[in-house]
Every structure is written in structure tokens, then in C-alpha cells.
Chain A
């Protein structure tokens, strides 16, 4: 070992606090992110017991009797009518042929369906484990999977395109177009920010209320009686409305960085506005658009709540996995294999987005605009764009307004008089408990997540040590893990304890595992914000504290944390909001001991009790926006950003 390496090692171990924290972090990330995902992968290729499949001549009863004499258990049989040509006598059974060894009986069912319908099949369970890739051909051959897979891709494509276009429209209008009307401008601002933290279900719910069979608009106003919002178009609309603000924010940042003089140069040479957009703005934006598209694509693919509620028969991977787990078939191996497919999809796209497109975006659009942009004032441009934005805005506002009204109308579709009966019903049906449980669990998760993500950011940005890459990669990668996949992973990973040893089995089914899920789901967001906040802080500030005699723990608490207070606090609130609105992973793990707002909304909406669902959703929306308001106020009055910004300006 070189002298430097050994010195760095000694210095590293001279700081026991940091070593402990790093160790704990690595264990936490490995145990609660990598391990469950690893278990899914293992599940999809390894089965603890296997089955041998034979075609035989005997009747099912005879086969059964035969195996029972042998002391074996017969798991599945099928009736034979196939003419038997050859009868090799194997161990007292007239086995026609050995079909092979399989890992799951569901796979068997698949085999039976495909061309063996006339054959007696004996399934003979072995205690030996089986390592094979069978489950993949199995699920790839599975019709429901294939349909769910293509459904998911189509949905992702449509949502990705739609959100990107809509985000681009709003971003373009915001940065390029002069909107005279103050009210209109404010409206666009609100609309493009409103859904950023919208609870799941909300838009699906209002979609049903407004455009469903007994929808206010479709039935009452337009008089359409057979309107069907369930399915691809319904989910796509809802998802676009939910995700376009993400694109808007990303694209706005990019458009602001385009130097106006580039476009003016093109204008100067006689290009029309459209030509300028097509030949200058758009090519510059292309990687950014790709980036936005992929981000929403991933969000769409990972979304569980909306397809669940208004998907109808349009199953996506996320919902199919959920149904596999909770439905009658209990095909864990199939679900695991599907989860692995879904995970590979999102992780692949995420890596492309993160390491290829993000770099490319940064490369094409570097630096700042040299000066203010002259907004476009030509009516031919401003008018159609403004009208388009206005229509979308009205639609979004309508969707949000529908929810509180849904909770206040006596009976949606029939009786539009106001009453509090749904709130009363909510309270009667354990409403308080749901709010209490959701609140308590989310409140426990937020400080843990906020602190954890700040510590991770600090270590990742400011420290060099073995395992740093691991910590950064895993905590950011968690962003690409769909909630459903995580949920299935937790079931497989913890239901029988870690590695089926019973270790940590105690947390399964408790509030602790829910809190852990909340933490894991919000960690990447907090870490990302912490990392970007810390990159703003000149390393010498912490170095000087270190140099004056403070150990890492002291440096972190007395210098780093106060300087990224904003990020810490926003992590706190973001985690709270994300947790209280979380559903995808939670719904697989929650036990009747805990009632959560979101699972309650799901239940009631599924039952068609839209009134109570709306009552829940209304209160949830109020909680979410109140939290965010609180956060903004706090940052405004107690934030450090100004000092830090000025300190950085001095650093130059």
C-alpha cells in the first residue's frame, strides 16, 4: 500500500464518529434498498423448491395414489386423453416423458395451456432448490404480462410526450411571450405549480367526477350517458396533468439559460419566429426535452395510484404486480420477475437520463443568458399560445375544484345540494385514526430522512472515502425504483426475515417498516437537494472549521447543517408531504393495524364511495399545501440562502 493510502486510512479511522456513521449508512442502504431488490432478482431466478413434471398414462387418481405411497405430495394434475404410444416403465409409473423441472406451479399451468391439454401431467415436488431463468420465459409468454408491458410502454410514451409538450408550452410562454394580463400570468404560474405535490388519486378522482359515467360535465352538461374515462386516455390525461409541472420546471431553467442574442442573430438574418424556434431554440433544447421526456416516462411507468383508480381494464406493470401479489394467484415468483422487468426498465431509463442526457444538456446550454430577453409581442404568436395555456389552466383548476365539491355535494351525479354528510361518514368510519396514523408515521419519517439525506450529501460532496461512490449511487438510484417494486421487494425480503432467517422479521407488518419505506422513498429527493446545496458552499469554509480543530461531526453540526438549513427544512417538509401522500409501496405492506389516508381513499374510491374519498382528498390537499406554505414562509424568514449566496459571491 502506498504511503498516501495508508495515511488516508489512518486519518479516516482517526474519526470514529464518521466511520460509524458511514458504516451505519452503508448497512441501512444495503439492507433497505439493495437487499430487497436483490431478493427480487434472486426470486426471479431461484426457487427454494422445484417440481418435476411428467406426462403419464395413469388416471389422476392412480398417479396421486402412486405418489402418496412414495410419501410425496402431488401438487397438480391434469387429465390425460392423449393416445399413449410408448410406455417406458419408470419406477412403477408408466411415464411417457419427463417434461422437465419447473420452479413454479404457475409455470406449470402455463405449460398445460400450451399444447398439452390432452395429457396427464404429474407434478412431483422435490425439495431441491432450482436456479433457472424459467420464470422469465414464463412471464414473457404470459399474456397478462405482455399486455401490461406494452400498456405500460404506451402509457409512458404518451404521458412523456404530452407532459413534455405541455411543460414546454408553459415554459415557453413564461420566458418568451409577453402576457399582458397580470391575472392570466398569475394563473399560469399557479397552474404550473399546483400539481407538483398533488396527492395521488386526486386528479383521477376528479376525472371520474367530471367526465365519468355520471360526470358533472359529461352527463349533466353535455348529456353524454355512456362516457368512459377508464382506460388509457383517462390515465394519460391524469398523468400528463400530474407530471407536466416537472417538465415545466426543468425546461424553464433551460430556456432561461439560452442567450437571447443567438436568437436575435437569427432574427436579424430574416428568420421568422417559427424558423427561429425551429432552427435555434429547439435544437438547443433537444437534450433537455429528451431529459424531461425520460423523467416523466419513468414517473408514468412507476405510477401506481392513477392506473389503479381509473385504469379500468388497462393494466400496467405496476398494477399487474400488485394484483399478482394481492389477488388469488399469489404468484410471487411471477410478480418478482415482473418487478425485475419493471425495475430494469426504470433503472435503464434513469441511467440514460442521468449520465447521458443530463451531461448533454449541460454541455449544450452552459453559462447564463447575457442579458434580458425581449418578450415576443406579436399577436399572431401570443394569442394562440395564451389561449392554449388558458384552456389547460381552466381544465387543471376545474380538476382541483371538483374534489372539495365532491366532498360537499350530497350525492354526486344525483343530488348537488351541499352537505357535510361525507365528512360525518368519514369521522364515523375511523377517519381520525387514519389521519393520526398517517400523520404520526410521516412525522417520524421526515426528520430521519431530512437528517439522513443531509449527512449523505455532506459525505458525498465533502469527504473522500471508500464506499462514497456506493452511498451516492444507491441513494440516488432509489429514485428510479418504482414504489410497487420496492413494496414487493420488502415483502419478499422481510416477510420471513432477512434471507428467510427470521432476522428482522419483527419489523414486518409494523409501523417501522412503513416509516422505513417513507424514508427510502424520499431519501433520493432530499439527497439530491442536499448535494446541490452543498456544491454551492466553498470547501474552504468547512476546511477552516476542520483546521481550527473541529472533528467531522462538529463541522457538520456547526457549519454544514446551518448553511444548508433551507435544504434540510425542505427535505423535512418534502418527506412529510411525500409520505402522507404515498401509496404505491405502502399499499403492499400496510396491515389492518394501520389505517392510512391514501389507502383509505383507494378503498373508498374502489367501492365507488366518491364522497368520502373526496372528503379525505380535500383534507389531504389542505394538509399538503399548508405544509408547503409553512416551508416557504420558514425559508423566507429564517433561511440562510441569502448569507450563503453572498458568501459565495465573495468567494468569486
Chain B
């Protein structure tokens, strides 16, 4: 019925009143996003950062205090949710308990006044797609959580919305089912090529599902980009810390040559990539992912091992570089010399596996 559409948020803000102090505060502040048709974008952030609020503004349940939302190029601020070409999948599934599976899925189609045959065909097709074929006459309370979520997804998909909105749809499921369902969601979304905005606070969900991730913190966008970009090139300590594990080493840029800088860490010099061209003399933090470091008998930075634990896939080390504690996951320990607590060793990493953050970045969020 309707083709996939892009969404654009222009300087969207939402002010709420604190229920206790009655003081207004920005739940969402100056958020601008441009989502291409057919893209899968995730809003990721800690609890209370304004993800749900943003999503509900797109759906039309809340009205923004500032800014404009465009759906497929059309400004939709003044449209009520039922007039917007969006469909939402709720955390609580929100299935109609008095309808069976078929009627739940058919609900949106009936509103669109499709013929009986058409409705039947579409519902059956979509139920097959979500692998719920044959269960159309079950009542919703006779379904497992995962099945209910599939029905909720089918109900949203069947109306072929311009955008599909998800608000933590998997958080009520157990860990294993979550993984299955997220691959399902991604498969179906790619098959139908539908635009999707997905809210979660689970980073692995965000990583595995998204074309782009938008990290939010306290109502503002901290960073957006592809999962790889955000992981390896976080703009801020907040993002670095929020996505994956991170070590921060105090560093000072000495000299830069061809995008590679020599930086000084605890009076030792190492070579790292400096794509943003941080000037010599600047105090920075060097971001080192635990899996990007190697502990060996020789290397860049001398360190003292304080903890060494065999974890199977890797050897987990805590080492002191100067007075900074660094956590390292050293892969495939079986082929390597394993250090014990108290040993002196060296920490090294590839120049392109680390990332420099200036103080400005750190304080910006």
C-alpha cells in the first residue's frame, strides 16, 4: 500500500515536568536525525535518556516542544498517530487480549477497509513470514512470549507502514530468544526493505541489527554512525564506555606525521593513528579496547600484571601501566606465554586499533 519512507527529525526537543519538583527539563534536546528509506536505525542509550520519548514523538503520541518531524518528506507534527504512516511494536506486545491471533493481525487492515479475501491473504502471508502459520485461531494468552512478539510484529508489518517503530520489543524475552528474535527481525526487515527505528538499551542488539546507531545521553545525541565507526571511533568517553569495554590511558601528542602521531604515555612513546589531526602538545586520552591489546615479553609499554585469569577464549589480565589500571583480553592464550600476577610484562597494540580522544571530547557530554 505505502512505500517505505525516510524520516527526518529537525531540532526536536521535548520538555517534561519533573513529577516531584515540578521543574521542567529537557527529556529530548535538539535532536536532528535523517534516516534514509529502508534503513534500520537504532536509538541506543542508558535508561531515561529519552529514547522512548523520541520514538513516541515519531509515532505521534507526544508532541515536540520544538522542531519538526518529516515522514517521507511530509511534515507530520500536527498529525495524530492514527493518521501517521507508522506502526509500532511495543515492549509489552500490546496485543488485543479479546481477539485471536488472526483478528489481532487483521485489525489494521480492517480499518483500511480491505476486502475480506484480501485481508485473509495478507494476514496469512505475514503470519507465515513471522513463522506463526497455523496459529491464527489461538487466543493471545495461549502464546509464549516469543510468539506474542511475532504476532505483534506481524500486526505492525501487515499494514505496510512507511516506518516501523520498535520500543525495546525484546526486553521481555529470555536471553536466548532475544538473540533468535533479533536475527528474525533483521531478516524480515531486510526482506521487506522497510524503514525501521529501533529503541534499545542493549548494545549487542543495536550492533547486530542496525545500519546506523544513534547513541543518546541525557536527551541529546552523543554520536551517530555505523556500528563499526561508533565502536572504534567514539567521539567521547561516554560513547566509548557505553559501547563495549574501554581502557583510557592518559597520553600527550608529541608529533604528527602523515596522520600517525607519536604520543607519550607514562613517559613511553608509542605510535597511534590520529585521523582527526590533534595538535602536538595536546593532552588526550588513548582509548584501548581490551581485545585490541596484547601482553607479551616485549612491546610498547612496560606494565605490571596484577591479575591473570584463564577465561577459555582469552586470558584476562589486569595490568598497571604507570598508575593506570588496564584490562586486556588476550586471545588464544594456549599458544602464548601466560603471565602470572606480579610478573613484569609489556603491553602493545596496533596503531590503528586505538583511538585518541581530546579533553574537549571528554567534557562535551
Chain A residues in the interface with B (C-beta under 8 A): 2-4, 7-8, 10-11, 14-15, 538, 540-541, 543-551, 554, 558-559, 562-563, 640, 643-644, 646-647, 650-652
B42 interface contact, C-beta 8 A = no
Using Cβ atoms and an 8 Å threshold, which residues of chain A touch B96?
A: 541, 545, 559
Per the bound structure, the CA–CA distance linking A544 and B107 in Å amounts to: 10
30 A-B pairs whose Cβ atoms sit less than 8 Å apart in the complex: A3-B65, A3-B77, A4-B14, A7-B77, A14-B83, A540-B91, A540-B92, A541-B97, A543-B94, A544-B94, A544-B152, A544-B155, A546-B82, A547-B60, A547-B87, A548-B108, A548-B111, A548-B155, A548-B156, A548-B159, A549-B111, A550-B111, A559-B96, A640-B98, A646-B97, A647-B97, A650-B92, A650-B141, A650-B145, A651-B92
Residues 78-122 of B contacting A (Cβ, < 8 Å): 78-84, 86-88, 90-98, 107-108, 111-112
| Residues 47-73 (chain B) with a chain A CB within 8 angstroms | 59-61, 63-66
Name the one of A7, A14, A651 contacting B64, with C-beta atoms under 8 angstroms. A7
Which of chain B's residues have a CB closer than 8 A to the CB of A647? 95, 97, 140-141
A540, A549, A640: the one within 8 Å of B90 (CB): A540
CB neighbours of A554 from chain B (8 A): 111
Partner of B80, one of A3, A11, A644: A11
- Indicate if B172 sits at the interface (CB-CB under 8 A): yes
Closest to A644 in B: B97
A36 to chain B, nearest CB (A): 36
B98 touches A550 (CB 8 A): no
Whole-angstrom distance between the Cβ of B7 and the nearest chain A Cβ: 15
Distance of A651 Cα from B79 Cα, bound (Å)? 28
Most B CB contacts (10 A, CB to CB) among A548, A643, A644, A647 go to: A548
Confirm or deny: B139 has a beta carbon within 8 angstroms of a beta carbon on chain A.
yes
Chain B residue numbers with a CB within 8 Å of A4 are: 14-15, 63-65
List of 7 A-B pairs having minimum Cβ-Cβ separation, nearest first: A548-B108, A7-B63, A647-B97, A540-B94, A643-B97, A544-B94, A651-B92
A568 to chain B, nearest CB (A): 13
Residues of B within 8 A of A551 (CB): 80, 82
- Residues of B near any A CB (own CB < 8 A): 14-15, 59-61, 63-66, 77-84, 86-88, 90-98, 107-108, 111-112, 139-141, 145, 148, 152, 155-156, 159, 172
Write out the residue numbers on chain B whose beta carbons fall within 8 Å of the beta carbon of A15. Answer: 80
Cα(A651)–Cα(B140), bound, Å:
13
Bound together, the chains give a CA A538 to CA B97 distance in angstroms of 11
A550 to B109, CA, bound (A): 11
Interface centre among B88, B95, B98 (most CB of A within 10 A): B98
- The minimal Cβ–Cβ distance linking B74 to chain A, given in whole angstroms, is 15
Q: How far is the CB of B75 from chain A (nearest CB, A)?
A: 11
Contacts of B98 in A (CB 8 A): 559, 562-563, 640, 643
Contact: B78 with A643, CB < 8 Å? no
A2/B81 in contact, CB under 8 A: no
Closest to B83 in A: A14
Q: Is the CB of B78 within 8 A of A549?
A: no
Candidates A11, A538, A541, A646; contact of B63 at CB < 8 Å: A11
Distance between Cα atoms of A58 and B237 in the complex (Å): 103
Q: A10–B78 contact, CB under 8 A?
A: yes
Q: Is the CB of B78 within 8 A of A11?
A: yes
Which residues of B have CB within 8 Å of A10? 78
A639 → B minimal CB distance (Å)? 11
C-alpha gap A352/B156 in the complex (Å): 47
A652 touches B107 (CB 8 A): no
Cα distance, A550 to B111, chains bound together (Å): 7
A563 vs B66: C-alpha distance in the bound complex, in angstroms?
Answer: 36
Instruction: Report the minimal beta-carbon distance from B316 to chain A, rounded to whole angstroms.
Output: 35
Task: Looking at the assembled complex, report how far the CB atom of A404 sits from the nearest CB atom of chain B, in whole angstroms.
Answer: 42
The residue in B96, B139, B148 that gathers the most chain A C-beta atoms within 10 A of its C-beta is B96
Q: What is the bound-complex CA distance between A14 and B152, given in angstroms? A: 27
Contacts A646-B141, A650-B148 given: A538-B78 contact, CB under 8 Å?
A: no
| Complex Cα spacing A650 to B95, Å | 10
* Whole-angstrom CA separation of A650 from B142 in the bound complex: 12
Give Cα A548 to B87, complex, Å.
6
Nearest-CB distance from A610 to chain B (Å)? 50
| Cβ contact within 8 Å between A640 and B97 | yes
Roughly how many angstroms separate A647 CA and B65 CA in the complex, as a whole number? 34
Query: In the complex, what distance in Å separates the CA atom of A458 from the CA atom of B140?
Result: 23
Chain A hits for B148, CB < 8 A: 650
Minimal beta-carbon separation of A163 from chain B (angstroms): 37
Give, as a whole number of angstroms, the nearest-CB distance from A345 to chain B.
33
Q: How far is the CB of A469 from chain B (nearest CB, A)?
A: 16
| Contacting pair B108 A549 (CB below 8 A) | yes
Q: Is the CB of A549 within 8 A of B159?
A: yes
Residues from chain A with Cβ under 8 Å of B155 in the complex: 544, 548
User: Which B residues are in CB contact (< 8 Å) with A547?
Assistant: 59-61, 81-82, 84, 86-88
Choose among A7, A541, A543 the residue that contacts B78 (Cβ–Cβ < 8 A).
A7
Taking a contact as CB atoms under 8 Å apart, the answer to whether A652 and B172 are in contact is yes
**B104 to nearest A CB, angstroms?**
9
Smallest beta-carbon distance A316→chain B, Å = 44
Q: Provided the pairs A559-B96, A643-B139, A647-B97 are in contact, do residues A14 and B80 lie with their beta carbons within 8 angstroms?
A: yes
A559 to B112 CA separation, bound complex (whole angstroms):
17
Question: Contact: B65 with A548, CB < 8 Å?
Answer: no
